[in-house]
Each structure stands twice: as structure tokens, then as C-alpha cells.
Amino acid sequence: MSHGIFITLEGIDGTGKSTHTRRLAAYLQKRGIATVVTREPGGTKVGEQIRRLLLNPKITRLSSLAELTLMYAAREQHLEEVVRPALARGHVVVSDRYNDASFAYQGYGRMLGVQTVQALDRIICGRTQPELTLLLDLDPQTALNRARKRNSRRRMKNTRFENHGLKFQKRVRTGYLALARQQPRRIKVIQADRPVAEIEAEIRKIVDALLARRHVRVRSKGVTRRR
């Protein structure tokens, strides 16, 4: 049984998700809430190696199903090493992406279909599902331009996913929005074409409401539920 709170941030590439993951974690930590900040694919030594492979633009012959299973291989390691132990300790886990990304990118983007992703998800994630997902939503062309600009600023190559272009990102976005329509209580859509501070304030409000709903007692060394 886990007692912590699992929060994920999602969105197509270039929506500012990583910035808001960091900011949210810092906000929670400042309030004395033990928070683990992590990401997918990655979050563990093995996961970061799988990430390098998955994002490498030089790898052009990876089947969609191979891509999906690698995502879940990294996820399994992440769950085992990081997420489940942290939740068991009563911590808040804030993850920059998790399983919704597989539904959106591989299920919709690569067109593998939701059922294929669901099959792996049942085995690997099981009941470890996010309690809250913040979906940063942005027009795909604007988002892709932002991602590419950021990469060139950091002298980084575009990833395999960014190289796939606008049509792909549009399918991924459609997928995310479909998921949000199906699970409106868990997935909150945040308009990402606004100033960072405004987005941050909205995220804080949503997370504060979750903490209150869960009757979270804020202590200096962790978060527990009262009931």
C-alpha cells in the first residue's frame, strides 16, 4: 500500500513541462513536504541509458513496438527503484512524464493503439497510477518551434521525437486531449501559452487542493494522510 502522492506532468515537446516540474517540486519542498522529483524515460541509471538510446536522432530503425517496450523497461526500473519506495515512505513524487506519455506518443503518435499500451501498462504499472496529472497544452507548431529553439540555444540536437515533425506532434496532442476527456478528475489541462508565473500559480492551486482533499498533514519530514 502506498501512502504518498504521485503527481505527473505531461504534454507534447516544447510546452515547458520540465520547468514546471522543477518549480512544483521546489514549491513543495519549501513547504516542508518530502518530495522526490524525477523523470521518464530515465530517473535511474539504467533508465537514463535507455533514454539516451530512445532520444538519439541517429537511431532511425527502431520499431514502434520496440520503442514502446523500451519505454516500459525504463518505467519498470523507475517504479522499482524510485517511485514505489518513495510512495511507500509517504513522499510526494513529481515526475516529468509517466505512462500517459506512452498512451499519447506510442498509442496515438505511433498509432500502436491504446489497447497495446494498456496491456503493458497492466503488467508494469498495475495500480501505481498517478493521482494527479497536469497536462500542459499548447498548439503543436508553437510547441515544436519552442523545443527546437531551446535545443539550438543549448547546442543540443533535436530528439528522435522532435525530428518526427508536426504531424506526429499533432497526433500526440490529440491523444493527450482524448485521455484528459476520458479522465477529467485526474488529468487537468493547463493552457501553456501564458506567462510562466501564471501557469505556475494555476498548478499550485490545483496541487494545494489535492493536498487538502487528501487531508495531508505537512510535516518537516514527509507527508502522511490523516486517514
78 lines the binding site for ligand TMP (CB under 6 A)? no
Instruction: Report, in Å, the least distance between residue 157 CB and ligand TMP.
Output: 12
161 lines the binding site for ligand TMP (CB under 6 A)? yes
Instruction: Report, in Å, the least distance between residue 144 CB and ligand TMP.
Output: 11
d(CA 184, CA 186): 6
200 lines the binding site for ligand TMP (CB under 6 A)? no
Three cell numbers at 141? 507548431
Q: Which of residues 105-124 bind ligand TMP (CB under 6 A)?
A: 105-106
Instruction: Report, in Å, the least distance between residue 221 CB and ligand TMP.
Output: 29
Instruction: Report, in Å, the least distance between residue 32 CB and ligand TMP.
Output: 28
Q: Which of residues 1-20 bind ligand TMP (CB under 6 A)?
A: 13
Nearest partner of 159 among 46, 17, 49, 53, judged by Cα? 53
The secondary structure of 182-222 as a DSSP string is H-TTTEEEEE-SS-HHHHHHHHHHHHHHHHHHTTEEEETTE
101 lines the binding site for ligand TMP (CB under 6 A)? yes
Nearest partner of 223 among 49, 68, 36, judged by Cα? 36
How much of the chain is helix, strand and coil, in % rounded to 5? 55, 15, 30
User: Interface residues with ligand TMP (CB under 6 A)?
Assistant: 13, 39-41, 55, 71, 96-97, 101-102, 105-106, 159, 161
